[in-house]
Amino acid sequence: MNKKEKILAGGFVDRIGNQEANVTYFINNKKKHNEVQLIKNYSEAIKIALKMLCSPKYGIINTIHEIDAVGHRVVHGGEQFTKSMLINEKVFQKIKDNIHLAPLHNPSNIKGIESSLFFIPFARQIAVFDTAFHQTMESHAYIGLPEKVKFSKKMTFSVY
């Protein structure tokens, strides 16, 4: 982002499918709205986000038709994607084909894309791949540990 650009609004919906899902919405990096509620699925989460963006009280746009593009973070794009991609049928199918590479993340990413395509079909949908970023890293940055490291049976080792 250059110095002339600024984030107008942002937020997140987490714990989707839970009685205590959390909706947080920011305007100019200041929290304007936070609520805990039942959000059954990704379609409901997208509807809530769109409602916040168009809200007379909190919104920054008048109608969803002002949305030109939607960016979707996709965890695993495999080796096919080395940069962000405009989502078309072929790209969407390849994202689905890569579910086995990120079974905890890609299905959720797909649900978000499907919901966004349903509610905002006129907007360009762009997939931004974590793996595209990681492909630009040198091996010493992503390998981390030497291959011959041995761990004690008592040691717990987690990678996040």
The residue assigned the tokens 């030109």 is 68
CA angle 49, 131, 155 (to 5 degrees): 100
The residues annotated as belonging to the active site are: 130
The average pLDDT across 121-131 equals 91
Of the CA atoms within 13 Å of residue 103, those in its CB half-sphere come to 1
Q: To the nearest whole number, what is the mean pLDDT of the chain? A: 82
Region for 37 from its dihedrals, namely left if φ exceeds 0, alpha if ψ lies in -120 to 50, beta otherwise: beta
Amino acid at 31: K
Domain locations in the chain as residue ranges: 9-66, 69-143
DSSP conformational letter for 66: G
The average pLDDT across 111-116 equals 94
pLDDT at site 79: 81
Q: The CATH number of 69-143 is which of 2.40.10.120, 3.10.20.30, 3.30.420.40, 3.90.190.20?
A: 3.30.420.40
β-pairing verdict for 85-86 and 124-129: antiparallel
pLDDT in tens, 28-83: 877 778 889 999 999 999 999 999 899 998 889 999 999 999 999 898 777 888 88
User: What dihedral angle (degrees, nearest 10) is formed by the CA atoms of 76, 78, 81, 82?
Assistant: 90
